Chains A and B, each alone.
Chain A
Amino acid sequence: MPTFVYMTRCDGCGHCVDICPSDIMHIDKTYRRALNIEPNMCWECYSCVKACPMQAIDCRGYADFAPLGHSVRALREEKKGTIAWKIRFRDGREKNFLSPIRTTPWGTIKGPAEYAAPRAEDFNRQELAHEPDSLKIEGGLPALRREQLKQGVV
């Protein structure tokens, strides 16, 4: 379903322009509001819908295979850590779903430079950052022996 923007709700803030992975949400020069400039390159990924603070963006299923009258709405609330979905069928039936999106506060990921620096000898070993501890296994990082790899058909 390519996206479209409701004229009365959009205030031209540009969040959708900033996020769209397809670069197809643009600000119309005359109306100073957002629009989808290339609906046939829209993946219906909802990134713009989720990012719009005004709930101004909606989707209408692709005209070439989606009959009218349906809707799939999303409300993503970062602070609450949830996303709520409302699906309405063409015949009016509805379904609602709610999922968590994150278990830790936004911005709290520890950057890699905040860990102790690797030792010189670690560069010549195969372990990556935080290994072997992060694997949660005994005996260290698994490895093959060179002679285990042979040509032929198996």
Chain B
Amino acid sequence: MGLFGRKTVTVDADILVIGGGMAGTGATYESRYWGRDLKIVCVEKANIERSGAVAQGLYAINCYMGMQWGENQPEDHVRYARNDLMGLVREDLGYDIARHVDGTVHKFEEWGLPMMRDPKTGRYQREGKWQIMIHGESYKPIVAEAARKAASEVHNRIMVTHLLMDQKAKRVAGAVGFNVRTGDYCVFRAKAVIVCAGGASHIFKPRSVGEGMGRTWYAPWSSASAYALPIQVGAKMMQMENRIVLARFKDGYGPVGAYFLHLKTYTQNGYGEEYESKWKEHTRALVGDYIDHHPTPTCLRNHAFLQEVAAGRGPIRMVTTEAFQDPHKETVGWENFLGMTIGQAVVWASQNIDPKYINPELTTSEPYVMGSHATCSGAWASGPEDYAPSDYQWGYNRMMTVDGLFGAGDTIGGTAHKFSSGSFTEGRIAAKAAVRYVMEKGKAQPEVSDEEVRELERTIFQPLETYRVGRNEIVAGTVSPSYILPLHGLQRLEKIMDEYAGGISTNYMTNDKLLNRGLELLKMLKEDMRQIGAEDLHQLQRAWELQHRLLASESVTRHTLYREETRWPGYYYRGDFMKLDDEKWHCFTLSRYDRKTGEWTMEKAPVYHIVD
């Protein structure tokens, strides 16, 4: 029994995987392949059967080379991702995922994931150059089964709040958190840790703030833990300014990939006109010949969308009425949503929108911070041993700048367009390296100070105590002078980020004055977090999700302030530096947080390209 008569559960592991989503299940599987005798523990805040961004399933695997049929080579994917991110991706890491990803997808098929096949060629049915179509309703349960077969233990419903460090040996030593069901304090001691905790929604105020605020594009449970956990222990982050804005079907945020690529639907303005080409010269003035790249970078397409709407010619619509006359295409269009964004089907059913007869509206979403889509925020990681330049290599593949701390999926920066298959693959890459780390360097069980473990326990459960005491001051209700509730804090965070760091209400515009003011307000919110109250364990989880979002938001704001250019118009704009500036900013931005002083250190890192 610990403080307040609470039970402490201590688990010793060789490898600890935090988050059992796509990357985490991949990491768990691969850890066992290489570490036959190791104790491999996967810890997850929900239930790995349906956790993470793939909880509802997917209708496409968006990263598959098709090397067996000579469709694409890994280099091609690197060039594609580089082009889409306006020149700035970690090409060494991206190539590494691309060279392994086909093997992962072939395993998925063997495990029982239904793949669609082209009836003429017998190959996987392509949705686009990189995407293949699947019946993926059970994608997550299938990879979860593989992970359960591999893990020594899977611990569901444990919210991980902090990483543990061996201060003497300067290496990671595990993690702590609490069981959301029992309230037990959980201490995991491990020789290597792989963070696979997904991306971040609800950093910026979403378009819907009523009952529908959970209908964000990325899952509402993507709580930025992937960034906050490493940031807290001083791991370097990269490109945190590189948030993503998505053009999606209105309100439901149903994906548009299959519509553009497979169904060949296209967009037009409210008056039925093509508009993208009109903005080409305007965009050229901002970014130069990046506008001529093929395919047009996602952010630049957003930029044209935003300009057209600002010019008073909205709404932008997807022309579906032609394609949907074909019954096969109509089925694909609907199943695409039922397989991964069911909410879109509901919006259409409720508003009598049948895309066979009505061209549905699109909108641009609030910004998201993540590392696996058309964006690449995340941790700064060491590259593959066989070819990464020395600037990118200081240890094991996918190890962060903290010894023994690895990551994969949304957690790792610089590797845009890895998606579900690439995240699983990156989990595998990180796991093999982590096993090697444990075998070569990490043999001894790291030491954790008992004092630190007890101090963290007090910190973690404080919101319950704050609520219990403060609650007696007031009659009833949610308004107290002594505490704020997690939802209050979340809405304040979203408002600050929205108004000061380039959210929807400023049309994604910000500048140094706004960002600095935003930082002042974030600081006060950080102070108020000492007075966050939690009524029960569920609210305690929300309180810690908010803590993680807040730390990630601070990082986003610092990075946005540091990069003095507008690299990705359509994702965000620096009003004081409206142009892309390759001379000064063809580089990565890196940050490091010092938790003792609360200071951030910023630096630039070079970009290496495959040149041939």
Q: Do A and B come together as binding partners?
A: yes
Interface residues of A (CB under 8 A from B): 1-2, 18-24, 26, 37-47, 51, 59, 61-72, 74, 76, 83, 85, 87-91, 93, 95, 97, 99-113, 115, 117-118, 123, 126, 128-132, 134-137, 141-146, 148-154
Q: In the bound complex, what is the Cα–Cα distance between A146 and B612 (angstroms)?
A: 12
Residues of A within 8 A of B111 (CB): 104, 109
Interface residues of B (CB under 8 A from A): 29-30, 32-34, 36, 45-47, 49-52, 55-56, 67-68, 73-74, 82, 87, 91-92, 95, 99-100, 102-103, 106-107, 111-114, 135, 137-138, 142, 145-146, 149-150, 157, 180, 208, 210-216, 219-221, 251, 331, 334-335, 338-339, 342-343, 345-352, 354, 384-389, 425, 428-429, 432, 435-436, 439, 538, 541, 582, 586, 606-612
Instruction: Tell me whether A103 and B114 are in contact (CB under 8 A).
Output: yes
Instruction: Tell me whether B212 and A99 are in contact (CB under 8 A).
Output: no
Contact of B349 among A74, A76, A89, A115 (CB under 8 A): A89
Count: A-B pairs, CB below 8 Å: 278
Give chain A nearest CB distance to B512 CB in angstroms: 25
Give chain B nearest CB distance to A97 CB in angstroms: 6
Residues of A within 8 A of B210 (CB): 40, 62-64
Instruction: Tell me whether B32 and A23 are in contact (CB under 8 A).
Output: no
Q: In the bound complex, what is the Cα–Cα distance between A91 and B350 (angstroms)?
A: 9
Instruction: Tell me whether B46 and A118 are in contact (CB under 8 A).
Output: no
Instruction: Tell me whether B349 and A43 are in contact (CB under 8 A).
Output: no
Instruction: Tell me whether A61 and B347 are in contact (CB under 8 A).
Output: yes
Give chain A nearest CB distance to B497 CB in angstroms: 18
Give me the 9 closest cross-chain CB pairs, A-B, nearest first.
A104-B112, A111-B149, A62-B212, A64-B210, A134-B103, A112-B33, A129-B33, A66-B350, A70-B349
Instruction: Known A64-B208, A113-B36, A137-B68; judge A152-B611 contact (CB<8 A).
Output: yes
Instruction: Known A45-B55, A146-B387; judge A101-B114 contact (CB<8 A).
Output: yes
Instruction: Tell me whether A102 and B113 are in contact (CB under 8 A).
Output: yes
Residues of A within 8 A of B114 (CB): 99-103
Q: In the bound complex, what is the Cα–Cα distance between A26 and B157 (angstroms)?
A: 14
Instruction: Tell me whether B214 and A22 are in contact (CB under 8 A).
Output: yes
Instruction: Tell me whether A90 and B352 are in contact (CB under 8 A).
Output: yes
Residues of B within 8 A of A62 (CB): 208, 210-212, 215
Give chain B nearest CB distance to A2 CB in angstroms: 6
Instruction: Tell me whether A61 and B213 are in contact (CB under 8 A).
Output: no
Give chain B nearest CB distance to A81 CB in angstroms: 8
**Given A39-B211, A109-B149, A142-B99, 11 other A-B contacts at CB below 8 A?**
A21-B46, A43-B215, A46-B342, A97-B331, A103-B112, A111-B146, A112-B29, A112-B150, A118-B33, A126-B385, A135-B68
Contact of A44 among B67, B68, B92, B342 (CB under 8 A): B342
Instruction: Tell me whether B611 and A101 are in contact (CB under 8 A).
Output: no
Residues of A within 8 A of B106 (CB): 134-136
Instruction: Tell me whether B51 and A21 are in contact (CB under 8 A).
Output: yes
Instruction: Tell me whether B112 and A43 are in contact (CB under 8 A).
Output: no
Residues of A within 8 A of B100 (CB): 128, 131, 135, 141
Instruction: Tell me whether A40 and B335 are in contact (CB under 8 A).
Output: no
Closest to A104 in B: B112
Instruction: Tell me whether B47 and A40 are in contact (CB under 8 A).
Output: no
Residues of A within 8 A of B425 (CB): 128
Residues of B within 8 A of A2 (CB): 211, 214
Q: In the bound complex, what is the Cα–Cα distance between A51 and B140 (angstroms)?
A: 14
Residues of A within 8 A of B113 (CB): 102-103
Instruction: Tell me whether A112 and B609 are in contact (CB under 8 A).
Output: no
Q: In the bound complex, what is the Cα–Cα distance between A40 and B216 (angstroms)?
A: 10
Closest to B339 in A: A99
Instruction: Known A70-B349, A87-B334, A130-B107; judge A22-B220 contact (CB<8 A).
Output: yes
Q: In the bound complex, what is the Cα–Cα distance between A45 and B141 (angstroms)?
A: 14
Residues of B within 8 A of A37 (CB): 538
Instruction: Known A43-B55, A128-B100; judge A88-B608 contact (CB<8 A).
Output: no
Instruction: Known A43-B343, A153-B87; judge A130-B387 contact (CB<8 A).
Output: no
Give chain A nearest CB distance to B229 CB in angstroms: 19
Contact of A129 among B34, B51, B74, B348 (CB under 8 A): B34
Closest to B138 in A: A101
Give chain B nearest CB distance to A60 CB in angstroms: 9
Give chain A nearest CB distance to B288 CB in angstroms: 11
Instruction: Tell me whether A76 and B51 are in contact (CB under 8 A).
Output: no
Residues of A within 8 A of B347 (CB): 61, 65-66
Of listed B216, B425, B538, residue having the most chain A CB within 10 A: B538
Instruction: Tell me whether B582 and A148 are in contact (CB under 8 A).
Output: no
Q: In the bound complex, what is the Cα–Cα distance between A126 and B221 (angstroms)?
A: 34
Residues of A within 8 A of B432 (CB): 123, 128-129
Closest to B612 in A: A148
Q: In the bound complex, what is the Cα–Cα distance between A10 and B126 (angstroms)?
A: 42
Closest to A45 in B: B56
Give chain A nearest CB distance to B435 CB in angstroms: 8
Give chain A nearest CB distance to B610 CB in angstroms: 5
